């Protein structure tokens, strides 16, 4: 189908990236044009002005996640933050005589965690990748880690555990506070990838008691190419070795010229996420459930991947991100379905954007116990504050028509 003949695109891939909020762009613009000084240039007013903007943004971002400004290291995004947390912690462990230590993670982690751990394993560090609850487990266990299994896995030489707070494919939310209690009892550190959580659920690094946490601006209506690593400095102070050397920026933990417009945008996006997150979450939950109910009524055999949409923990907190839906469509080829829906003007994916060019099925869905065909025939939906009810209803119509057409071939 020629591009001119395609219907207007409906974007439902907000786990991959989100639209830049116009209010965030407005705050960034001065730092892209007139106020373009280098934050490292302390000898003139434009440089000092840029530095002041960075420090104000650091204070603001820290406040949105329950941290202090000196605990925030600005990076290019959650991938760099995760690498710095994992490899930087490993380097510190090596310098303290734990070169052949042990790290624990989950089979369902993002590749920003799995790939650096593969690297550490090749360097001699032991890595354990824990299974999660399978799809046929109770509705509140699918995709979640077993605390008993974690406790059994930890060793005297375990120096780090890394988990996603909220999974980027199936939306499952881990009980990080409970995980932290187990990890800290054994003397290890806890790194948590919070990229998908900001703006979609309450988030306080003290409440969940983490040591290191990764963030990306573009997952919550901020700019691409900027993020942050939270490094705990209060109480049990954490130290990480740098991966990038040069100018000594970010207290030596991450050298390189600071992206002043991006950092201002990150702080603005985080502030909006804090102030409007509860209202946004309520809207997205309603629209997400509307999408599921519409698809389930129109697509025979449709099945849910991940925890039940209404699953909650003992405190009544949702066990799934309110903007996430992941379904499998039996009886169709997954790649053909995605291509058909793209021609119909739907921006969707079958998994992480970082793995979209790989022919392999989603490692997250395989870890749930799905076979290759089921994983390939799955669709991931991510909603945002800009998603509308009209878009949801139109998407249901286009998906139902596409599936019906493919099944008839």
All structural domains of the chain with their residue ranges: 3-20+277-408, 22-270
Residues near 239 by beta carbon (within 8 Å), at least 6 away in sequence = 92, 231
Q: Of all helices (H) and strands (E), which one includes residue 75?
A: strand 72-75
Residue-wise pLDDT tens digits, 75-123: 999 999 999 999 999 987 765 555 579 999 999 999 999 999 999 999 9
Residue-wise pLDDT tens digits, 154-183: 999 999 999 999 999 999 999 999 999 999
Domain 22-270 has CATH 3.40.50.800: no
Indicate which residue of 20, 354, 366, 406 is catalytic.
Answer: 354
pLDDT at residue 354 above 60? Answer: no
Which of 336, 324, 318 shows the shortest CA–CA distance to 292?
324
pLDDT at residue 42 above 70? Answer: yes
Other beta carbons less than 10 A from residue 389's beta carbon: 12
More confident position, 6 or 168: 168
pLDDT at residue 4 above 70? Answer: no
Among this protein's residues, is 354 annotated catalytic?
A: yes
- DSSP E strand stretches across 151-263: 158-164, 189-193, 212-216, 227-231
Amino acid 78: pLDDT: 97
> For 7-11, 63-67, 84-88, 145-149, which range has the lowest pLDDT when averaged over its residues?
7-11
Cα-based distances in Å from 183 to 109, 148, 309: 17, 12, 29
CA–CA separation, 294 vs 287, rounded Å? 10
Helix crossing, 22-32 with 260-298: angle to 10°?
A: 160
Domain 3-20+277-408 has CATH 3.90.1150.10: yes
Pairing of strands 324-328, 126-130: unpaired
Amino acid 200: pLDDT: 94
Other beta carbons less than 10 A from residue 63's beta carbon: 15
């Amino acid at each position: 189908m020629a591009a001119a003949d395609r219907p207007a695109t409906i974007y439902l891939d907000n786990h991959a990236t989100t639209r830049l909020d116009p209010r965030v762009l407005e705050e960034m613009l001065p730092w892209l044009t007139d106020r373009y000084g280098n934050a490292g240039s302390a000898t003139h007013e434009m440089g000092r002005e840029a530095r002041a903007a960075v420090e104000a943004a650091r204070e603001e971002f820290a406040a949105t996640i329950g941290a202090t400004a000196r605990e925030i290291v600005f990076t290019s995004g959650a991938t760099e933050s995760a690498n710095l947390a994992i490899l930087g912690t490993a380097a510190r462990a090596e310098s303290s005589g734990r070169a052949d230590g042990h790290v624990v993670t989950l089979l369902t982690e993002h590749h920003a965690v799995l790939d650096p751990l593969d690297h550490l394993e090749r360097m001699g560090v032991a890595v354990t990748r824990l299974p999660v609850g399978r799809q046929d487990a109770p509705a509140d266990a699918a995709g979640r880690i077993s605390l008993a299994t974690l406790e059994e896995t930890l060793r005297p030489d375990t120096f780090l555990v890394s988990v996603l707070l909220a999974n980027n494919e199936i939306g499952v939310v881990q009980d990080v506070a409970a995980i932290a209690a187990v990890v800290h009892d054994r003397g290890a550190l806890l790194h948590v990838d919070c990229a998908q959580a900001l703006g979609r659920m309450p988030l306080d690094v003290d409440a969940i008691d983490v040591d290191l946490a990764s963030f990306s601006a573009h997952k919550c209506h901020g700019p691409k190419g900027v993020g942050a690593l939270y490094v705990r400095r209060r109480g049990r102070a954490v130290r990480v070795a740098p991966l990038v050397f040069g100018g000594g920026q970010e207290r030596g933990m991450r050298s390189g010229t600071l992206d002043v417009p991006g950092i201002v945008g990150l702080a603005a996006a985080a502030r909006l996420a804090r102030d409007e997150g509860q209202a946004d979450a309520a809207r997205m939950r309603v629209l997400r459930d509307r999408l599921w109910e519409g698809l389930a009524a129109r697509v025979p055999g449709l099945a849910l991947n991940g925890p039940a949409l209404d699953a909650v923990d003992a405190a009544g907190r949702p066990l799934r991100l309110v903007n996430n839906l992941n379904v499998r469509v039996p009886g169709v080829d997954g790649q053909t379905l995605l291509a058909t829906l793209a021609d119909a003007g739907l921006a969707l994916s079958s998994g992480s954007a970082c793995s979209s060019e790989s022919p392999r099925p989603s490692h997250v869905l395989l870890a749930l116990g799905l076979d290759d065909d089921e994983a390939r025939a799955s669709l991931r939906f991510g909603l945002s504050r800009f998603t509308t009810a009209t878009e949801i209803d139109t998407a249901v119509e286009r998906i139902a028509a596409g599936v019906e057409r493919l099944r008839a071939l």
